[in-house]
Structure 1
C-alpha cells in the first residue's frame, strides 16, 4: 500500500539524503518525494510517498522521527487531505493532429505551455489518476517525454502539519 507522509525538517544539507537512505536501507520503495521551503525559512516540508504494508508504516514513521533534523512526521494517508501532482508532457503534434490535442487539453483543463513544428508541451496539475488518464489519451498521439513532480499533500481543515 502507498502511504503519504508529511515531514517537517530542519532546513539543512544532507537531511533529505538521510531520510531516503533510512527508508532504502529497510527495503521500502519511495514512490515519490517532493521537498520545498515552508512559511518558516528554517523549516523544509517534505512530502514522501512510501510503499509498504499497513503494519509497517508505524515502524517507518518511528524510524524517521528518530532522525535529529526531523521536527514532525504526519501520516496523511489516514487524514482528509488534498493531493496534487504536476506533469509536463511533450507530445508529437503534427499540424493535422493539433486540434485534436488542443481539444484533449481543454477537456482535462490542462495548458499548452510550448509549441514548435513537431511537438507540444502540456502542463497538467491534479491528482495522480487525472494525470494518468491524460497520459492514456495522449498515448496515441505519441508521447516524446514526461516529467512529473511526485505527489504533494496538505491536510484539510484549519490545523497545520505541526498540529496534527
Structure 2
C-alpha cells in the first residue's frame, strides 16, 4: 500500500512496527501487581491507622499502597497506549518518515523536524517497560511525535532519524540483487 505521502518521500528503506502485544502484556502485568498490592495495602493502612497492628515497620503500609497505586497507574497507562497505537508502524523513506496508526498516517519530511531528543535507560526493567528508548521528534510546525522501545529496532530508528535531521545523512535503500546473484 503506497500513498501519495510515501511517493513524495522516495523509496521505502525500512519499516519499524510497534509491538502492541508486548505493550498490552506489560500493562496487564502492571495492573495485576497494582490490584494485588492495593488490595493488600488498604487493610494494612487501616490496621495501622486504628492502632490494632503496629508490630511491623512503620513504612510498610505506605510501601504496599505506593507499589499498588504505581502499578495501577502504569497498567492503565500501558493499556490505553496499546489501544491508541493499534497497527502503528514507522516507515523510513529516503526523504522522510511516515507513521501509520489506527488507519491514519502522518507524513513528515526530514526537513520538517526541528530536533530529535533521545532519552531512555538501557537496563532490564527499562527494556521490559519499553523505556530503553524514548525518542521525541519536535516538528517545525510546533507539534511533536514520540516513539518508545516498544517499536521494533527503536534504537536503529532513533539513530536513523537523528542522522537524517542533524547530519543530513538520509537513509538509502539496500542495493537490490539481480535475480541471477546468489
TM-score (norm. length: structure 1): 0.23
Structure with bigger RCO (C-alpha 8 Å, 6+ apart): 1
Query: Which structure carries more helix by proportion?
Result: 2
Give me the TM-score of the superposition, normalised by structure 2.
0.22
